[in-house]
């Protein structure tokens, strides 16, 4: 007899922090900490972890959790006057018991709705009233879906603007064996060169040194090919025109207290984002940004993945 899986459970995580565990009928799972509204685990039906979380991650407020999917809001990086990546990733979120309906084709019961509203302290550094709703869901085939909805609830009639990213850390076998397809020939801002604008070459992106680039006007589908694991991550996104690619490499890895010296070899951030053009909402308006992650076995043809199948097909 199979044990019936409880699709949603609230329990305690590291250092007693509250977390929600999602389990899909076929065996995939996800974990979300209320601290940061932060996804820290996504496993396929074989129990393999798809996300990278540092062995030195500090699960203790106010430090953001190193790895998983941090939410950058209302500011990405240093693109503004707030702290790096804004404050949503180090606030305690609430479970949203009565969220407005979210159209979905999925019948999965493995999902949770979270909400973040500004505290009095937040209003001092970012004087706007908003509701940030996040739904994290597992699809029937183990896909991970994140939907963010940000609404301007200012009573003073004032609009506000923000930048945003799902700062996803993917787990990879070896960074030197990984490539990204879907960003060829695009313009990007290079954070290692004062955000100067360049154009990417025509080949798939591979890695041999530190990278921190914001690709602009990117397609809705991007693929990360991991040769050694024979696995391809497919990123589908909506409402998020940019894609940030980051790996700190050895020197920066050694300088981060919450990151192992060699861990840069086993992670890659590819982040669905809205950075170059901030999103502006008038009172009552809502923005929606959606991310869907799936992992598929790589199909090889004379040693190469068939990119058409991944980027144009399933």
Annotated binding site for substrate: 66, 84, 89
Which of 167, 227, 263, 276 does the annotation list as catalytic? 167
Phi/psi class of residue 254: alpha, beta or left (left: φ > 0; alpha: ψ in -120 to 50)?
A: alpha
Rounded Cα–Cα distance for residues 270 and 196 (Å): 19
Which of 31, 181, 271, 292 does the annotation list as catalytic? 271
Rounded Cα–Cα distance for residues 40 and 32 (Å): 6
R_g over Cα of the chain: 19
Rounded Cα–Cα distance for residues 54 and 264 (Å): 10
Residue 274, φ and ψ in degrees, nearest 5: -130, 95
38 is catalytic: no
Neighbours of 262 (CB within 10 A): 10
Surface-to-core class of residue 60, CB atoms within 10 Å of its CB (0-12 exposed, 13-18 middle, 19+ buried): exposed
285 is catalytic: no
Alpha-helix runs per DSSP H in 58-173: 120-125
Which residues are part of the catalytic machinery?
167, 271
């Amino acid at each position: 007899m199979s044990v019936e899986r409880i699709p949603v459970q609230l329990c305690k995580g590291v250092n007693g922090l509250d977390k929600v565990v999602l389990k899909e009928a076929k065996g995939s799972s996800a974990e979300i900490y209320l601290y940061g509204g932060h996804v820290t685990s996504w496993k396929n039906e074989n129990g393999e972890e798809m996300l990278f979380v540092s062995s030195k991650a500090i699960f203790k407020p106010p430090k953001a959790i190193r790895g998983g999917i941090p939410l950058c809001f209302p500011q990405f990086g240093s693109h503004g006057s707030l702290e790096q990546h804004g404050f949503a990733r180090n606030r305690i979120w609430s479970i949203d018991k009565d969220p407005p309906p979210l159209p979905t084709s999925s019948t999965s019961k493995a999902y949770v709705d979270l909400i973040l509203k500004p505290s009095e302290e937040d209003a001092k550094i970012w004087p706007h009233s908003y509701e940030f709703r996040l739904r994290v869901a597992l699809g029937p085939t183990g896909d991970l879906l994140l939907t963010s909805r940000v609404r301007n609830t200012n009573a003073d009639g004032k609009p506000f603007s923000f930048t945003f990213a799902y700062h996803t850390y993917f787990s990879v076998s070896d960074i030197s064996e990984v490539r990204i397809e879907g960003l060829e020939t695009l313009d990007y801002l290079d954070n290692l060169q004062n955000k100067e604008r360049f154009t990417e070459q025509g080949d798939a992106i591979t890695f041999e040194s530190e990278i921190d680039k914001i690709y602009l006007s990117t397609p809705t589908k991007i693929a990360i090919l991991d040769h050694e694991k024979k696995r391809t991550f497919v990123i589908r996104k909506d409402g998020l025109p940019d894609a940030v690619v980051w790996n700190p490499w050895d020197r920066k890895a050694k300088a981060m207290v919450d990151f192992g010296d060699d861990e840069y070899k086993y992670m890659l951030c590819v982040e669905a984002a809205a950075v170059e053009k901030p999103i502006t909402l008038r009172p009552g308006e809502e923005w929606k940004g959606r991310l869907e992650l799936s992992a598929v076995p790589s199909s090889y043809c004379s040693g190469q993945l068939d990119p058409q199948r991944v980027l144009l097909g399933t």
